[in-house]
Amino acid sequence: MSVVGAQPFIKPMQSPPSVSPGIQRRHTLPASEVRPLNTQDAISVFEIEREAFISVSGECPLHLDEVRHFLTLCPELSMGWFEEGRLVAFIIGSLWDQDRLTTEALTLHKPCGSTVHIHILAVHRTFRQQGKGPILLWRYLQYLRCLPNVRRAVLMCEDFLIPFYRKSGFKVLGRCAITVANLTFTEMWYPISGHAYMRRNSEAIRFPQHPLTVPLTKTDERVDV
């Protein structure tokens, strides 16, 4: 489910200029970075989710305790975009072990599964219409290619979001068996195969065991939805 396209071109990161040992560096937050989420990010995640979904559908995909639940069980399947330390966009996923989504997929993480269920993709209202949704989704899908047991990603979305996900390479599976209140959804999937797109700054998508804080390039930020 999402509130937010061509695939973004990622400009190789340049090596930072060397600093003389006699010059003390200033410790400042990077202008932009992506990293896995953790339980300390849960409140920021939920605030963005609540604003994004309650105003549109009246329902949140995940409640605060469920956000904490997934960020505890499988933080490596989440990704957050931060601007000067502030969360502006995020994805939360978990593993699933069946061909199609069922109601259990909304709350369970199946460690032996080969399917990543993308629960949420959301962007803070101040940062929408800037291309952040497609860029973050592209980075996330590339990162999933680095996980050896993952074979595909699936999600459920309302019909008006189908074109958005199709632009990112997702295909329609059919109507989803899950309903929330009066809402119905379409289930979509994306094949995960081969290796992540190799580029000089490919470390931006490698953090399953040892999370990295990786700055985003200026080119990343200029791609529009």
Q: Check 77, 87, 95, 121 and give the catalytic one.
A: 121
Instruction: Tell me whether residue 94 is one of the annotated catalytic residues.
Output: yes
Q: Check 64, 73, 106, 108 and give the catalytic one.
A: 108
Instruction: Tell me whether residue 121 is one of the annotated catalytic residues.
Output: yes
Instruction: Tell me whether residue 165 is one of the annotated catalytic residues.
Output: yes
CA distances (Å), origin 145, targets 30, 134, 167: 26, 17, 19
Instruction: Tell me whether residue 141 is one of the annotated catalytic residues.
Output: no
Residues 6+ positions from 217 with CB-CB distance below 8 Å: 10, 11, 12, 13, 201
First vs last C-alpha separation in the chain: 17
Q: Check 62, 94, 124, 155 and give the catalytic one.
A: 94
Residues β-bridged to residue 179: 184
Instruction: Tell me whether residue 63 is one of the annotated catalytic residues.
Output: no
Q: Check 141, 165, 168, 190 and give the catalytic one.
A: 165
Burial 71-104 (b: 16+ CB within 10 A, else e): beebbebbbbbbbeeebbbbbbbbbbeeebbeee
Q: What is d(CA 80, CA 135) in angstroms, rounded to the nearest whole number?
A: 12
Catalytic residues, which ones?
Answer: 94, 108, 119, 121, 165
